[in-house]
Structure 1
Amino acid sequence: GEMIEEGTLYIDTDGAKVGQVNGLAVYSYGEFMFGKPSRITAQTFIGNKGVINIEREAKLSGKTHDKGVLILSGYLGGKYGGKTPLALSATLTFEQSYSYVEGDSASAAELFAILSSLAELPIKQGIAVTGSVNQKGEIQPIGGVNEKIEGFFDTCKRKGLTGNQGVIIPRSNVKNLMLKKEVVEAVKEGKFHIYPISTVDEGIEILTGVAAGKRGPDGLFPEGTVNRKVEDKLFYLLQEQERLRKMAEKSQDSTIS
């Protein structure tokens, strides 16, 4: 844990930032396994019509991991695409080049970072995330849940527990919890929190403090909700894409004549 203490791992455990979330990874050191937070940032911009393109890169190694990206685009297309094609590009950057012990255990965190970027709603940095997600937006179990929680708890403790910090975990991992006494005590005293979730909507509400929103009879998400903000942004990106395409066609026409 020296790296965190030296501040070379720039982990925020307080405040809120748009498009940035603390994911959790497990590293093995011989027989010893430990969890560490790893910052994930998302940027979203106009893509090609009908395409959701998501790219991942690790800052230090420049390595890309394609596994699970199709699930993220599948979720976005299914939840918001509906009747209109989307035109979205997103990049996900891992601040650390660690390879995840289990492939998709960061997919929920990645999705939350993308949703935050699209909705322009900040994510609470004191709440870290572990869990994988499927195309239906269900949060699925992951390995190393205890190490991950303890790793983030230790990071927060070093920087100072605020009482607002905690970890989002898959509800299906609750049965695997066997945390060290210090963490159990902190949770009992309300100094640290564990949030079990089953859906993406539950998670984004905890991270942003804003209601996720369910589609109404009019087919729209309620005004001011996370999902409404995301859908509005996706519609805006599609319109911008169309506008740019028309401009490009016009300029081509004028060069031909």
Structure 2
Amino acid sequence: MQILSLPHIERKNELAGNLHGKGMMIAQACLSNILELPSQLPFSASLVFEQSYGEIDGDSASLAIFCVLVSALAELPLPQHIAVTGSIDQFGLVHAVGGVNDKIEGFFTICQRRGLTGKQGVIIPATTIQQLSLSDEVVSAVKNGEFFIFPVEDIYQTCELIFQRDLLEEENKIYEDRKMPISRLIQRRIDFRAEPPKKGLLNFFR
């Protein structure tokens, strides 16, 4: 069941390679499988990397793409102080990607120039922990609690870090409105969009 129409603008304009396109499809399939929604979503979405004019490829953005889809569907803002890298499979497990050290140090440099707040950090696949070989500056900032590295194993841990909410509703758990699980937020929005428009006086004469 296809629950979401997701045209990829980069792919359509031949600015994205096959591996990146595969990552897009996996992120979409993962969302479909995890949420187990009973009906087709009344939405369509487009994904584009703004101000990007060169070719892109690889699946290391598929975890980030999943988070973007969740953010849009649940209408939850994405925090700008956390960077994300990692590939995912259709079951929501996070897999290793290349260039993790460069990605961490690159985001750290940006945060350092803008001022470290003690909240910034990077989400990485837990399987890449043994590959880390970071600069002394980054290591020192992590030790001092000025910068964080968050290793994750799946999308559930990722969503909890980014949105401070459960992705799926847990049985026998009572949720406050401000901590409502993401799946319930998405289902509520689907139900609202699926409702037929109310007939008003103007509609009566049409």
Shorter-chain TM range is: 0.7 to 0.9
Residue 227 of structure 1: CA displacement? 2.3
Which of 101, 115, 129 aligns to 2:70? It is 115
Give 1:170-209 correspondences, 5 Å limit: 170-209=125-164
Residues 221-243 of structure 1 deviation map (CA, whole Å, 9 limit, x = unaligned): 99611222123223444x15xx4
**CA 1:152–1:63 in structure 2 vs 1: closer, same or farther (change >3 Å)?**
same
Match of 1:29?
none
Distance in 2 (alpha carbons) for counterparts of 1:227 and 1:125:
22
When you count helix as a share of all residues, which structure comes out higher? Answer: 2
Give the match's secondary structure for 2:44.
strand
**Any runs of at least 4 consecutive aligned residues in structure 1 with deviations exceeding 6 A, and if so which?**
none
Q: What's the CA shift for 1:68?
A: 2.1
Q: Partner of 1:7 in structure 2?
A: none
Relative to the length of structure 1, the TM-score reads 0.66
Task: Give the number of aligned pairs.
Answer: 192
Counterpart CA distance in 1 for 2:92 and 2:42 is 20
Q: Which residue of 2 aligns with 1:225?
A: 181
Q: Flag the structure with more relative contact order, 1 or 2, with Cα contacts below 8 A and sequence separation at least 6.
A: 1
1:90 aligns with 2:45: yes
Q: Which amino acid aligns with 2:8?
A: R
TM-aligned CA deviation for residue 103 of structure 1:
1.0
Partner of 1:68: 23
Tell which deviates more after alignment, 153-162 or 224-233: 224-233
- Amino acid corresponding to residue 43 of structure 2 in structure 1: L
Q: Distance in 2 between matches of 1:236 and 1:63?
A: 36
Which deviations, in whole Å up to 9, do the C-alpha atoms of 1:128-183 show, x marking residues without a partner? 00001111111111000000000000011111111100000011111111111100
Structure 1 residues 235 and 174: CA distance shift in structure 2, 3 A: farther
Contact 1:54–1:91 (CA under 8 A) maintained in structure 2:
yes
Distance in 2 (alpha carbons) for counterparts of 1:66 and 1:112: 16
Query: Higher strand fraction: Structure 1 or Structure 2?
Result: 1
Question: Deviation per CA, 1:168-224, whole angstroms, max 9, x where unpaired?
Answer: 00111111111111000000000000000111121112112233343437xxx9961
In percent, how many aligned pairs have the same letter?
37
Letter in 2 for 1:86: L
Q: Given that residues 187 and 194 in structure 1 are in contact (C-alpha distance below 8 angstroms), is that contact kept between their aligned partners in structure 2?
A: yes
Cα gap change, 1:99 to 1:190, in 2 (>3 Å):
farther
